Copies of this chain bind each other. A is one copy, B any other.
């Protein structure tokens, strides 16, 4: 059985390939009658245009790439949800790449993507990244890029983030008002602007309460959860005065719980914990975890919208299109006053 492509349709209808192609695109250059005939046969034979031929010819792939550290994380999975939603509504396909917070992988991936495979890119930078040379190369090579959450300041494009400074400030203030005086701050990387912002909020709140900023209370975690639990356990053991933890990442909040369990520290009596998290079951934890929750789904949607709009209009993305959404603080048991 011959494949069902334009040529096949054209032959069966005694038309030229051009006319068939135009008919399927509802071109005004084709008579209504012919359009009918073409569409009827196309439906009957189940014609599906060859995406690669079309992409090649038009230099448009109707595909976007999503490059993120991990997917097994509520923030990112919700973001993907939003991205996929918007993409689908606009007839775009979504390619997914995971960096596992590894710099090397991120470099590899960005290289694949310079081939025009995608029309645009949504990205959240790996915490392990130090320089952004690979991103600049990628940026120069064409596709529109929008960063979300973990942004890269070095590129002249739009970012979709949350009010990280304010959130860091409020989280810390929340702990202070609950009575904490020695607050540890856990984060993944000091290189990312997102981490710096939260850190600055943390410092501002401390200062406002007349407390010194103690560098040794800042812990930078790795990718591996067990390793992080280990690190946090060590920190808590060696610094028994710590009475509050501000975790900048969901995973570190969980590891903190584990560490406290290990050491038999009572939450919130002897130590209070607040963390960035999109964990749906935060309220069901023992004890319920106080969270700063980012609107992950909306972030994904907005980032995708900015990207697709730029692609469709063939206009470059301007930093002025950046968006800042608000996170929300849900006070729960883990930071209740002793």
Contact = CB atoms under 8 A, between A and B. Distances in A.
Contacts of A211: none
Interface stretch (A25-33, A68-76, A214-222): A68-76
Interface in A30-53: 46, 48-53
Interface string A82-114: 001100100001111110000000000001101
A165 interface: no
Interface in A144-163: none
Contacts of A281: 254, 257, 279, 281, 285
Interface string A237-265: 00000000000000000100110010000
14 contacts: A48-B114, A48-B141, A49-B115, A50-B56, A53-B56, A56-B56, A72-B74, A72-B81, A80-B96, A84-B97, A95-B95, A225-B280, A257-B281, A281-B285
Contacts of A254: 280-281, 284
Number of copies: 2
A116 interface: yes
A55 B50 CA distance: 10
Interface of A: 46, 48-53, 55-56, 61, 63, 70-74, 77-78, 80-81, 84-85, 88, 93-98, 111-112, 114-117, 137, 141, 225, 254, 257-258, 261, 279-281, 284-288
A82 to B, nearest CB: 10
A250 B269 CA distance: 31
Contacts of A284: 254, 257-258, 261, 285-286
- Which of A73, A286, A287 neighbours the largest number of chain B CB atoms within 10 Å of its CB? A286
Contact of A70 (B55, B81, B88, B112): B81
A332 to B, nearest CB: 11
A117 B93 contact: yes
